[in-house]
Structure 1
């Protein structure tokens, strides 16, 4: 029973490997024909039979072709964990960099290409992609710096406008304040007049004031009479 069980188990393992291999071949055929959805289906079935590098790597490629880059990245990472050689790791890192590049995650793409080059320094395609990513990242940083500079200049201009508006308001307030004292002066003059207006006179003061006024009037009238008496009579024409 023990040996039979081992034979059965061994037979099951061989059958399982053959099924996974056949599914991978079916997936490859669909991939070459451009039927990436069909290829994805076959590769997923192969992975259900056997968790291996080739299944995850090829599945990542079929998903990548359907522009589902987040999922492709996960499959390439799974392939890396199942990789048996530097060549397999190099391939996975290279395609991982491509997926990051498609997402616009330049730093991650650069890091992936660097890892691929460590495993295969003579990989020309990886070198070219790495150079392109570095150039794009430099351009991106320059654009960000320019945008930040433009934003700073815009904020500075807005601050200057606000300062000018505030200065204009201050000038208007000063002009208003300069005008307001005139009105206040008028009010103050009126107040002074009110303050300087004589209070009600007592009876004695009123009598003295009238007496002074009458004496002054008498002096004026008498002076006028004297001036009138000194006038010469006009000569007659006949």
Structure 2
């Protein structure tokens, strides 16, 4: 909104002064002077006093202007909406909707701002300033949507990365558990094999598993085999001699 808009509307509304009560009209004039001097707090009080005497489109519109300049955009929006509902003049109603859109814009409520500007343009479709403000509000909505989309994509990416990290940690833990389990099984198999070897007798070429059993040297084993062979020869010789002589012994009954 521009200051020139206010002055133009002030002059326009002043032409309707005879329709207002004398007290309300005087309060409006005092408010106009305070507003021109930049004393918006005083203007707010005077315009508020005017609408208490008579709730008019002019009083609400000008009060909205004072509130807007003080940065009270929410309260200003209420006054502009009230002015638009009370105004009989289409031009005043169109300006009230445009300023209503400006109030929503300053509150970053861009969707409501767009609707207010559209309302104004339905009444005054050739208003270049309102068209420009509508374009800005629409651009802000598009930027908000793009930002929300980027934030959603970022959140999705962070969530996927977190899930991948969790899955990776779970896989490593699973591999470690599997390796530990395999190592335990191998250890058990080794202990079992060792126990079986201890229980089995010694085999040729391997030491006897029983440490308490005496060991025979190779020389001793060969000597014993030699003795056994000589004994076998003597036994065979005696048997042949017995066959030749026959049986000579008597048998007692």
> Is TM-score (shorter-chain normalized) higher than 0.5?
yes
Q: Which of structure 1's runs of 4+ aligned residues deviate more than 4 A?
A: 186-194, 218-221, 224-227
| Matching of residue 222 in structure 1 with residue 215 in structure 2 | no
Equivalent residue runs for 1:49-64 within 5 Å:
49-64=53-68
Contiguous gaps of at least 5 residues in structure 2: 1-17, 201-219, 230-253
The equivalent of 2:104 in structure 1 is 100
1:67 is paired with a residue whose SS is coil
The equivalent of 1:150 in structure 2 is 154
Counterpart of 2:84 (choices 80, 87, 107) is: 80
Higher helix proportion (structure 1 or 2): 1
The equivalent of 1:173 in structure 2 is 177
| Matching of residue 137 in structure 1 with residue 141 in structure 2 | yes
**In terms of Rg, which structure is larger?**
2
The equivalent of 2:204 in structure 1 is none
Contiguous gaps of at least 5 residues in structure 1: 1-13, 198-217, 228-238
Distance in 2, Cα, partners of 1:51 & 1:185: 99
The equivalent of 2:251 in structure 1 is none
**Cα distance, 1:136 vs structure 2:** 1.7
Alpha-carbon RMSD: 2.7
Q: Deviations over 1:98-139 (max 9, x none)?
A: 000001111110111011000000101000101111112112
**Cα distance, 1:185 vs structure 2:** 2.5
Distance in 2, Cα, partners of 1:187 & 1:225: 43
The equivalent of 1:20 in structure 2 is 24
Structure 1 range deviating more: 93-102 or 139-148: 139-148
**Cα distance, 1:183 vs structure 2:** 3.0
